[in-house]
Chain A
Amino acid sequence: MDLNIDDILADLDRDTTAVDSSLYLSSEHDTTRFSEANGTPSNHEKHIAVNNITPESDYQMLITHWRNERMAPELLPYPHLLIGRLLQRLTNQIEHIENLSMGFLEEAAENDAKIPMLCMEAELERLKFVIRSYIRCRLHKIDKYSLYLRQLDQANDRTLSLTELLSPQEMVYHDKHSKILLKLFNNSVLRHMPPEMQAIDDTDGSINMIDQPDWSKFVFVLIKGAEPGEEDSEQVLNDDGKPCYSVTIPDLNEEVELAVGGIYVMRYNVISGLLRDGKAILV
């Protein structure tokens, strides 16, 4: 007789990993702080909370955000909490490195520890590069869609407010930059035009002056699927028994099955829902 004891083994496994993570928890102060702030009662729940927010997972999330932002035609919502945590860690790390290098001045001869310093500095530069590139990409899109963003701000029926979409600094940039640009246009050309043609965001003319993101632009997308262990209600099985998502292309009335793990060239508006849920990433 064959007894399937996989679930029992999995139960045992879970216990040991909980102990493991609490072992090196003591060295990571920021993760403990987050889990304490949640006030989690049981050890098991704490384990989950810790797993969700670690420096590694935050970095992975930043990379995903960066890749999506670079490839998506629209401006994606700004991850306020994530960037806040990363910037906090960045300042702490700079301070830490400075303290260490000060220490070297006194006891440099004692231990040969240049390599950790080298790696920590290199890592700092890498993190800074990603954040910088991410912000620059967003600023580029803010430039491009400034009129469209202003229109979003004025129309209050949107589900997403501008403060969620942009960081405070980006709001300032958006405001000031469009004002400066408007002033330039007004002074150089627009004031010589007849009054009905002076508007810079005219939507009734022969050509719409507000540039919208190209919602149906083709993008390369990797279907990642839901987090392992989580049940996903949208997921269905296709004929081969593989999990996949079923989406419809509205213009063609065509239904497409997106298998988990596959790479597709797809219209952006078709997969933007999956993208927002983190079930797909742009490549």
Chain B
Amino acid sequence: MSLPGYLEDKFSPEEIQFLVENEPIKIMPRITTRQKRRIGSGRPAENTTQWKLITTNDYNVNNMVAMNSTEVALWLALLLKQQGKCSIVAPSWLTLKQIDKFIEFEVRNPTRFANLPWNWLVIARLLFQRAPDDFRDPVHLLRGKVQDLREVRQGKIAKGLQYLNESHLQLDNLSLVEVNEMRPLVVGVMDKLKEVHNSTIKENSGELDDYDV
């Protein structure tokens, strides 16, 4: 088949990461790409290679000034980081204080999920791996907190599974990774429940029609 079977009704974790890598993130460049305008000529000098990107706005990368923060796509930031040309500014929710607040919220509200960004797990994993020196807080503590958060939420997801039904389910603030890992189970079970439900309707439909008419 043209699509491998294991990709048929879900995304692979690598594809999830790919999706997340398209999100913008703040960086501190260590290179300057902004062209100096020559006095008189008015247009930028064209002796260096301009960035010409076709999927993201290339205005920002063409106007980087060393140590002035700017926003670029995450994949670009990771690439630059690999080359030692920038440091990544961790998002505001990825601090010990903020994560502690989230954990507190999770513990206090057993029926709801905290309002984390939809890509928090992937961002945390990527940044811990590729930019561990850019955090203000010690990374091993952050790692522990993120793991705590993950486990609290996993417990809630497991508890939520008892409400699977044949009509619908509401799962606000669930992240993409969490959706993706529960997808095969939830969809499979709910599809079967729906089948069972529909077959009972069909058996009784003769009588129901009589009542309706």
Chain A residues at the B interface, C-beta cutoff of 8 Å: 24, 27, 54-56, 59, 63, 67, 70-71, 89-90, 92-93, 96, 100, 110-111, 113, 115-120, 122-124, 126-127, 129, 133, 136-137, 139-140, 143, 214, 216-220, 249, 251-252, 254, 256, 261-267, 283
A–B Cβ pairs within 8 angstroms, 6 of them: A59-B56, A111-B49, A123-B55, A214-B191, A220-B179, A262-B170
Most buried by B among A92, A117, A123, A266: A123
Known: A123-B53, A252-B167, A254-B167. A262 touches B172 (CB 8 A): yes
Q: Assess the B75–A122 pair: CB atoms within 8 A.
A: yes
Q: Assess the A136–B187 pair: CB atoms within 8 A.
A: no
Q: Assess the B83–A140 pair: CB atoms within 8 A.
A: no
Q: A67 — which chain B residues lie within 8 A by C-beta?
A: 19
Known: A218-B190, A220-B179. A249 touches B51 (CB 8 A): no
Closest approach, in angstroms, between the C-beta of A128 and any C-beta of chain B?
11
How many pairs, one residue from A and one from B, have CB atoms within 8 Å of each other in the complex? Answer: 135
Q: Assess the A126–B167 pair: CB atoms within 8 A.
A: no
Residue of B nearest to A221 (CB): B168
Say whether B111 faces chain A, with CB atoms less than 8 Å apart.
no
Binding site secondary structure of chain B? loop
Say whether B120 faces chain A, with CB atoms less than 8 Å apart.
no
Closest approach, in angstroms, between the C-beta of B14 and any C-beta of chain A?
10
Taken together as a complex, chains A and B put the C-alpha atoms of A249 and B166 apart, in Å, by: 11
Q: A218 — which chain B residues lie within 8 A by C-beta?
A: 186-187, 190-191, 194
Q: Assess the A267–B168 pair: CB atoms within 8 A.
A: yes
Taken together as a complex, chains A and B put the C-alpha atoms of A219 and B171 apart, in Å, by: 12
Say whether B156 faces chain A, with CB atoms less than 8 Å apart.
no
Say whether B79 faces chain A, with CB atoms less than 8 Å apart.
yes
Q: Which one, A24, A249, A256, A264, contacts B171 given CB within 8 A?
A: A264
Q: Assess the B166–A252 pair: CB atoms within 8 A.
A: yes
Q: Interface size bucket, B side?
A: 35 or more
Q: Assess the B168–A89 pair: CB atoms within 8 A.
A: no
Q: A55 — which chain B residues lie within 8 A by C-beta?
A: 53-57
Taken together as a complex, chains A and B put the C-alpha atoms of A74 and B136 apart, in Å, by: 48
Closest approach, in angstroms, between the C-beta of B110 and any C-beta of chain A?
19
Q: Assess the A127–B75 pair: CB atoms within 8 A.
A: no
Q: Assess the A265–B53 pair: CB atoms within 8 A.
A: no
Say whether B1 faces chain A, with CB atoms less than 8 Å apart.
yes
Of the listed stretches B2-10, B90-98, B126-134, name the one at the interface; the rest are far from the partner chain: B2-10
Q: Assess the A264–B79 pair: CB atoms within 8 A.
A: no
Say whether B99 faces chain A, with CB atoms less than 8 Å apart.
no
Q: Assess the A116–B49 pair: CB atoms within 8 A.
A: yes
Q: A111 — which chain B residues lie within 8 A by C-beta?
A: 47-49
Chain B residues at the A interface, C-beta cutoff of 8 Å: 1-3, 7-9, 11, 15, 18-19, 22, 31, 47-59, 61, 75-76, 79-80, 83, 85, 166-174, 176, 179, 183, 186-187, 190-191, 194, 197-198, 201
Query: Across chains A and B, which 4 residue pairs bring their CB atoms closest together, nearest first?
Result: A140-B3, A113-B49, A265-B169, A59-B55
Known: A119-B76, A262-B172, A267-B168. A89 touches B54 (CB 8 A): yes
Q: Assess the B52–A120 pair: CB atoms within 8 A.
A: yes
Q: A283 — which chain B residues lie within 8 A by C-beta?
A: 176, 179
Taken together as a complex, chains A and B put the C-alpha atoms of A70 and B179 apart, in Å, by: 15
Q: B61 — which chain A residues lie within 8 A by C-beta?
A: 116, 119
Q: B55 — which chain A residues lie within 8 A by C-beta?
A: 55-56, 59, 123, 126-127
Q: A263 — which chain B residues lie within 8 A by C-beta?
A: 170-174, 179
